[in-house]
Amino acid sequence: MKLKVLRAAVLGALAFGQAPLMAAETTTDVGTTGGDGLGQIVITGESQNEQYRPVRSSSATRTDTPLQELPQSVQVVSRQLIDDLGATRLDDVLLYVSGVAKQNNFGGIWDNYSIRGFSGNENGGMNILWNGFASNRGYAPPRDMANVESVDFLKGPAAALYGNSEPGGTINVVTKKPQFKAANSLDLSIGTQDAYRAAVDSTGALNSEVAYRLNAAMENKGSMRDNVRNSREFFAPAFTWVLSDSTVLNYEGEFLRQKAPLDRGVVAVNGNPSVLPVSRFLGEPNDGDIKMENQNHLLTLEHRLNENWHLRTGIFHKDGTLDGYSTEASALLADNTTLRRQRRYRDFSWHDTSLQAEIGGKFQAAGVGHEVLFGTEVDWLTLDQRMLRINPTAGSPYAVNIYDPVYGQAQPTPVANTDTSERQISTGLYFQDQISLSQQWKLLAGVRADSFRSTLDNRRTGATTRQDKGAFSPRLGLTYLITQSLSVYASASKSFRPNTGSDVNGNAFAPETSRAGEVGLKFQSEDKRSGATLAVFDITKQNVLTTDPANPAFSISAGEVRSKGVELDFSGKIDLHWRVTGNLAYTDAYVAKDNTLAVGSRLVNVPRTSGSLLAVYESADTRGAPYGIGGGFNYVGERTGDQAGSFKLPSYVTARALAYWQFTPKMKLSLDVNNLFNKRYYASSYSNLWIMPGDERSATLALNVKF
């Protein structure tokens, strides 16, 4: 029975881009005893997520594929690296993957990044998947890492498999799965800036057919920013039900509540963002918090038809709300002292449902191996946005002195500004074939057909904007395995992403279309514990939305942007004591064609050069208790602060140090110090009025207890 349960659990974990429960290099030894004719399975070897470099991924193809055979750059942030970094947010791991840059994060209350220079729109940021389902449409709060097993960064377009998406890359967050073997842990941490966090991870069998997993976290923390404090509660249950030896049902849920002020950061004075202290808060404390609630539900069913063919289906549903007041900078007057501010009230809600179904299998034809995948996806999204807003006037400026702000002044009552309801329906059909031409040549071909319909109702004006679009998104990639350790690849692909919303005249935007090419070289050590990927890419995207210079509250299609670059990612275990991860990137992302923006102007927040390195040394003390010590650095080059190029965010280097001591078999103490030398830097900006300073030096002491 153990073999049945384990095999079924693995099948369930593979559904919809989820990571396998067993590493590729594990071995099995099946005996012949047992009443049902099945022997005991023995698993040895290092788990994928105990490594810095897993050797396989199911995110890029929805099938369990060796990274060495994929014709694209795929970087997997394993649980081991997440733990080494003490990461509690997705934000904490970004700089350890090449070509990823932080973007405007909506005052710190949502995730927004760019990969290879490209980020998404304001109603969903870039494409972030949750176990293979689009999860950040609407305004999802920053992702908590308590229940995350790995984060897969898929470089380049993924539209041929996942539909409309950014051409720079896609992030797939893979969550922890229920296990039939009982395991429990408690994490307690305390940090500078009055930070406290508790998290629990519990898994085990409810009976011989059902296993559970429960992850939960509570957090309350201050900030280097004056008058800014946030709290969150996170609860994530998961269940696996083995219906039979060939059928598995999985449920996963997430419930997140967060409270935090909307903080737009500091302003640049005469193009200099360093004039004000990084702690200066220019909002209004009396506004209180922005309250966000978000819940995800995912139900998947997998049925194994035989040894080669399977069926998968899944339904994902998400609900969320965002509610609260904020005070935000609107203009710095000519005296470079007086900052006019506007007051807003937001009441946003979203409902997102996705249905996926696919059949996949392997077969031989004329001596050539095929692994095919046929699938369909239907998405329904409702996004309601109501905003009250008031701008200051000469008679009632609602202003502050940026050098000596006085809070508590009379607050203006915002009036109706935006009241829209958007409905989206999209459908997709996709086909993929992984062709093994020989032991050395691997071909990947795929195409997806998408249709998209949306209706945007303006409740204030009565106007309705409709659009009905469609696109084909193909991809073709070829890999040549020179040796077991070295491979080269080349790929070409297209992508498509509808531009939701309307311009100042109420007209729907033309959709974004992209084309990309990539060539690369991959290395993997003989023991498969370390490896590297060198990639060269060229991506062009048309109809990108940017701020309308004549009407900053609206957007326009910017024309054409382009990104070219080179990336190097390396990671792994070097010997018995050292594990390392690092990257280097050169990204030339710029405006290539536009009626208003300067040709050649760089894309906002995207550094031309960036890199990181982290190394950890492990050993044991005289009593045999394991310990580790490590450190590293992050480098981010100079960036354009706004699309007009009116100011720059300076380059910076930050360092970190970490250490742990497992003083008993079930208790581990760890210390993490970020921005070790207290370097002043700026993480991202939206304009010269909204610039987010980077974190000052912080230290976190954590205790992990297994029971």
pLDDT at 27 over 50: no
Residues in the chain, total: 707
Q: Tell which wins on pLDDT, 181 or 106.
A: 181
Question: What's residue 33's pLDDT?
Answer: 33
Kindly provide the residue ranges of all beta strands, DSSP E only, lying in 144-182, ordered along the sequence.
Answer: 148-155, 169-175
pLDDT at 47 over 60: no
Question: What's residue 613's pLDDT?
Answer: 98
Percentage of residues of the chain with pLDDT beyond 90: 78
Map tokens 């590729």 to a residue.
Answer: 24
pLDDT at 38 over 80: no
CA distances from 372 to 231, 242, 309, 445, 611 (A): 46, 25, 10, 10, 37
- Least trusted range by pLDDT, from 134-138, 428-432, 615-619: 134-138
pLDDT at 238 over 50: yes
Whether 77 contacts 581, CB under 8 Å: no
Report residue 299 as tokens.
């139900």
| Mean of pLDDT values over 612-637 | 96
Percentage of residues of the chain with pLDDT beyond 70: 90
First to last CA, the chain: 26
| Helix (DSSP H) and strand (DSSP E) numbers for the chain | 3, 38
Convert the pLDDT of each residue in 65-119 to its tens digit: 999 999 999 999 999 999 999 999 999 999 999 999 999 888 888 889 999 999 8
**Confidence bin at 469 (pLDDT 50/70/90):** confident
Question: What's residue 10's pLDDT?
Answer: 45
Domain boundaries, the chain: 2-706
**Confidence bin at 123 (pLDDT 50/70/90):** low
Q: Tell which wins on pLDDT, 379 or 24.
A: 379
Question: What's residue 119's pLDDT?
Answer: 85
Give the containing element (helix H, strand E) for 162: helix 159-162
Convert the pLDDT of each residue in 598-611 to its tens digit: 889 999 999 999 99
Convert the pLDDT of each residue in 182-215 to its tens digit: 999 999 999 999 999 999 999 999 999 999 999 9
Report residue 267 as tokens.
């302003």
Q: Superfamily assignment of 2-706 in CATH?
A: TonB-dependent receptor, beta-barrel domain (2.40.170.20)
Distance CA 170, CA 502 (A): 25
Q: Tell which wins on pLDDT, 21 or 247.
A: 247
Question: What's residue 395's pLDDT?
Answer: 65
CA distances from 130 to 209, 298, 435 (A): 25, 9, 27
Question: What's residue 543's pLDDT?
Answer: 82
Question: Helix or strand or coil: residue 393?
Answer: coil
Convert the pLDDT of each residue in 307-361 to its tens digit: 999 999 999 999 999 999 999 999 999 999 999 999 999 999 999 999 999 999 9
**Confidence bin at 40 (pLDDT 50/70/90):** very low
Select from 97, 96, 91 the least CA-distant residue to 110: 91
Distance CA 488, CA 426 (A): 36
| Mean of pLDDT values over 631-659 | 96
Average pLDDT, the chain: 89
